[in-house]
Chains A and B, each alone.
Chain A
């Protein structure tokens, strides 16, 4: 790597201020939301689990493979203090948003700028060649420091030991930064910011999967856990037996990825990816004749990526069902805990899996519907509507694609989990049962998509608020039981009304209500879209 000269960093300070100015709303929301998540856990958990005995009951629950997969390696389960509880069950779900914030931040200020051509304008002025990437990294450091401080302070407010609190905060912030580094690399590989952030998000998924398998395989996790940046905060064992050095692994990832990113960035042209663009067909295929054909074409690559990602994720998750079956066989008490809810432990495991994948597909659905917004902003919608395409047709082509693609992704996830389960002790019929059981979440996914579509119709500038519904569903779907919340709060999530397994217990009426709600929301979107101005830049 070339040594970085001062000249190469010219104007970095200006670009940092500029980036902070552009992100003055976004970043505080991300940082504040992560901090609030921690504050909420710190203040709510002591009231739900006020005695050590109650906490040990929770620890017993968390000892199951399914719980470990979704939480952590289970340090301190034998003496489940508030700190150990937060580290084991909350940290992962605060580190993932920190990683997402960092990934979007880096791609927004590097690859997206190049893709739109704005970087060209910036680089034509007195700006060093490393300045843009360095400025984005500095902003990432500022943001993740904010995350680290806020989460640590939130823990201090609950009278938790200071050193361990700061270790957790630093761990979450450094996890965010290691994914910022990964995003610096993925931003070099492709010309598209969307592809760059998708690749980095795939790395988050892989990290989650690695530590899930590792943490289930052995108490405290095995080598696979150690390969995952998402695991290192928990591996520092805060509130149990603190060791700082696992956090250094995040620093190492950051240093290595940034070095790679810098080295590649000066060896390529501004605006180009590592792979040169290829020539395409001179004439459009017959399928590219309708708005739906266009929607398919525009999202085909993304859909294939999601399908592969979900499937690769689902098979190993499904194969963990053997551990559940074994654990129940070894420990009949555990079985009782589950069956106390009136559900078979294996069915409970399958339902949790289905919910988990349905939430991911919900995120896909929002991304997919919001393509309507980016098509409009870039002027593509204007070009299409200037031909004889009705607005309703345009709208439902894109929303229709979202519906079909979501259904396919749910099926694929279910088949993946089923294949994983059937590779072990579960029978082959599990595959079909799980495929349709997961598909049962389609109405819930479509409600989320419907919210996005309705917001897009009413006021496109606020359509991204649909993410709040996803965030709500994830938070209360994952922590509703932990926080022992009133039912109506959990029931507000569209995902709370589906039980995937056993298939015979499918709640038909709620699913019909959700379907109706989704259709109503889509209709609101289509009607309002028909009656408003088309926005252009």
Chain B
């Protein structure tokens, strides 16, 4: 199936500042793609290029098979956008802002809007300036999720939402996926990305430093093993692929914790069996570890 969104070698500079420096990104149809990166990495710039608000300096960008700058108007009928920092018209109510945005896109769906208003517990009669950050975010979310579109572009959509509303949001994204919509989700909340996303792209300094399915990314990094053993696993430290070996012999039994490179896992497990395994706990790498490791490595690289 063709990708809903395809970016290759995207460059964009603002004066001297290189915001995007050869970015590659792809969102397959019907999938949820996570877009991770620290502040200032270029996430919002990328999204604005995708929306035809910024013109790319160079590179190929295709959204739903169209050019985001040239075909902006036709394209925007087929996508919906939630900005990271929602700014509402101060004198319009939330309900009016939702209706306006839906009508400007074409094809407002009143029933779906009302259902979403209820789920997000949003009062549509308040004026834009009186909403809190979280409620402004809900206005933009309701306007976007109510639209019958093929692609959702969400720039940190849950910032300011309480945990209850985050759950509602996650349900909505799940439904969107089921309905065959593609989603580009830029986020800081790793647990959210881990829960929702099929693929993840990590961006830093305007460039994708890591991308793939979560499974693929996990493959690139280490699994943490915690085991209770009968014998001191002396030979373990010498094995290739074992890192950060730590003992804890304060208990009656011997506990050992270490990280294993994914490729070395079969050999390490075979070896471990020789030391009399009593309990074994294996934790796949969390996205947080991936994220931190990626940035940690980059930081070290940048510093040296």
Question: A residues engaging B (CB < 8 A)?
Answer: 115, 191-192, 277-285, 288-291, 293-294, 297-298, 301, 378-380, 382-391, 531-534, 536
Within 8 A of A (CB), among B164-199: none
In the complex, what's the smallest C-beta–C-beta distance from A225 to chain B, in angstroms?
38
Nearest residue (CB) in B for A279 is B125
Compute the total of residue contacts between A and B using a CB distance below 8 Å: 117
A285 to B97, CA, bound (A): 11
A309 to B124, CA, bound (A): 34
In the complex, what's the smallest C-beta–C-beta distance from A131 to chain B, in angstroms?
24
Asked if B51 contacts A294 (CB within 8 A), the reply is no
Nearest residue (CB) in A for B47 is A386
A386 to B77, CA, bound (A): 9
A297 to B100, CA, bound (A): 11
Contact of A386 among B53, B95, B125 (CB under 8 A): B53
Q: Chain B residues with Cβ under 8 A from A380's Cβ?
A: 87, 89
Within 8 A of A (CB), among B128-175: 129-130, 140
A387 to B103, CA, bound (A): 9
Contact of B81 among A192, A285, A386 (CB under 8 A): A386
List 17 A-B residue pairs with CB atoms under 8 Å apart, sorted by A's residue number. Answer: A281-B96, A281-B125, A284-B92, A289-B99, A293-B100, A297-B92, A380-B87, A382-B53, A383-B101, A383-B140, A385-B76, A386-B51, A386-B53, A387-B76, A388-B75, A532-B55, A536-B53
Contact of B101 among A282, A387, A534 (CB under 8 A): A387
Asked if A378 contacts B124 (CB within 8 A), the reply is no
A380 to B89, CA, bound (A): 7
Q: Chain B residues with Cβ under 8 A from A531's Cβ?
A: 55
Q: Chain B residues with Cβ under 8 A from A284's Cβ?
A: 92, 95-100, 103
Supposing A291-B104, A385-B51 touch, asked if A282 and B125 sit within 8 A by C-beta, the answer is: yes
B26 interfacial by beta-carbon distance below 8 Å:
no
Nearest residue (CB) in B for A386 is B81
Asked if A385 contacts B53 (CB within 8 A), the reply is yes
Q: A289-B103, A383-B86, A388-B75 are in contact. List 5 more A-B contacts (CB 8 A).
A: A284-B96, A382-B51, A382-B53, A382-B83, A536-B48
Contact of A298 among B89, B93, B104, B126 (CB under 8 A): B89
Q: Chain B residues with Cβ under 8 A from A281's Cβ?
A: 93, 95-96, 125
Which one of A277, A387, A532, A533 has the highest number of Cβ atoms from chain B below 10 Å of its Cβ?
Answer: A387
Asked if A383 contacts B87 (CB within 8 A), the reply is yes
A297 to B127, CA, bound (A): 14
A12 to B51, CA, bound (A): 45
B74 interfacial by beta-carbon distance below 8 Å:
yes
In the complex, what's the smallest C-beta–C-beta distance from B183 to chain A, in angstroms?
15
- 7 closest cross-chain pairs (CB), A and B: A284-B99, A280-B93, A379-B87, A387-B104, A387-B105, A284-B96, A282-B95
Q: Chain A residues with Cβ under 8 A from B126's Cβ?
A: 279-280
Q: Chain A residues with Cβ under 8 A from B81's Cβ?
A: 383, 386
Asked if A277 contacts B96 (CB within 8 A), the reply is no
Q: Chain B residues with Cβ under 8 A from A283's Cβ?
A: 95-96, 99, 124
Asked if A388 contacts B96 (CB within 8 A), the reply is no
Asked if A277 contacts B129 (CB within 8 A), the reply is yes
Q: Chain B residues with Cβ under 8 A from A191's Cβ?
A: 129
In the complex, what's the smallest C-beta–C-beta distance from B288 to chain A, in angstroms?
30
A532 to B101, CA, bound (A): 23
A192 to B130, CA, bound (A): 13
A372 to B52, CA, bound (A): 18
Q: How many of chain B's residues have a CB under 8 angstroms from any CB in A?
A: 40
B106 interfacial by beta-carbon distance below 8 Å:
yes
Contact of A388 among B97, B104, B124 (CB under 8 A): B104
Q: Chain A residues with Cβ under 8 A from B90's Cβ?
A: 192
B73 interfacial by beta-carbon distance below 8 Å:
yes
Asked if B105 contacts A388 (CB within 8 A), the reply is yes
Contact of A288 among B72, B100, B105, B125 (CB under 8 A): B100
Nearest residue (CB) in A for B51 is A386
Supposing A284-B95, A297-B92 touch, asked if A388 and B125 sit within 8 A by C-beta, the answer is: no
Contact of A280 among B55, B74, B127 (CB under 8 A): B127
A288 to B89, CA, bound (A): 13
B299 interfacial by beta-carbon distance below 8 Å:
no
Asked if B77 contacts A388 (CB within 8 A), the reply is yes
Nearest residue (CB) in B for A280 is B93
Asked if A389 contacts B93 (CB within 8 A), the reply is no
Contact of A294 among B54, B73, B100 (CB under 8 A): B100
Asked if A290 contacts B104 (CB within 8 A), the reply is yes
A293 to B105, CA, bound (A): 14
Asked if B125 contacts A280 (CB within 8 A), the reply is yes
A391 to B76, CA, bound (A): 12
In the complex, what's the smallest C-beta–C-beta distance from B134 to chain A, in angstroms?
15
Nearest residue (CB) in A for B75 is A388
Asked if A277 contacts B130 (CB within 8 A), the reply is yes
A218 to B17, CA, bound (A): 66
B91 interfacial by beta-carbon distance below 8 Å:
yes
Asked if B93 contacts A378 (CB within 8 A), the reply is no
A280 to B127, CA, bound (A): 7
Q: Chain B residues with Cβ under 8 A from A115's Cβ?
A: 129
A301 to B89, CA, bound (A): 14
A294 to B85, CA, bound (A): 21
Q: Chain A residues with Cβ under 8 A from B129's Cβ?
A: 115, 191, 277
Q: Chain B residues with Cβ under 8 A from A387's Cβ?
A: 76, 101, 104-106
Q: Chain B residues with Cβ under 8 A from A294's Cβ?
A: 89, 100
In the complex, what's the smallest C-beta–C-beta distance from A157 to chain B, in angstroms?
43
Asked if B72 contacts A282 (CB within 8 A), the reply is no
Nearest residue (CB) in B for A293 is B100
In the complex, what's the smallest C-beta–C-beta distance from A112 to chain B, in angstroms?
13
Q: Chain A residues with Cβ under 8 A from B73's Cβ?
A: 388-390
A382 to B140, CA, bound (A): 12
In the complex, what's the smallest C-beta–C-beta distance from B82 to chain A, in angstroms?
9
In the complex, what's the smallest C-beta–C-beta distance from B175 to chain A, in angstroms?
22
A279 to B74, CA, bound (A): 35
A184 to B272, CA, bound (A): 78
In the complex, what's the smallest C-beta–C-beta distance from A107 to chain B, in angstroms?
16
Q: Chain B residues with Cβ under 8 A from A385's Cβ?
A: 51-53, 72, 76
A505 to B51, CA, bound (A): 52
A238 to B126, CA, bound (A): 55
In the complex, what's the smallest C-beta–C-beta distance from A505 to chain B, in angstroms?
44
Q: Chain A residues with Cβ under 8 A from B140's Cβ?
A: 383
Asked if B87 contacts A288 (CB within 8 A), the reply is no
Nearest residue (CB) in A for B140 is A383
In the complex, what's the smallest C-beta–C-beta distance from A388 to chain B, in angstroms?
4
Q: Chain B residues with Cβ under 8 A from A192's Cβ?
A: 90
Asked if B77 contacts A288 (CB within 8 A), the reply is no
Q: Chain A residues with Cβ under 8 A from B87's Cβ?
A: 378-380, 383
A391 to B54, CA, bound (A): 12
Contact of B54 among A278, A282, A379, A533 (CB under 8 A): A533
Asked if B93 contacts A289 (CB within 8 A), the reply is no
A382 to B105, CA, bound (A): 13
Convert B34-53 into 0s and 1s, putting 1 for each residue whose CB lies closer than 8 angstroms to a CB of A. Answer: 00000000000000100111
Q: Chain A residues with Cβ under 8 A from B99's Cβ?
A: 283-284, 288-289
Supposing A281-B96, A282-B95, A283-B96 touch, asked if A390 and B127 sit within 8 A by C-beta, the answer is: no
Q: Chain A residues with Cβ under 8 A from B101's Cβ?
A: 383-384, 387
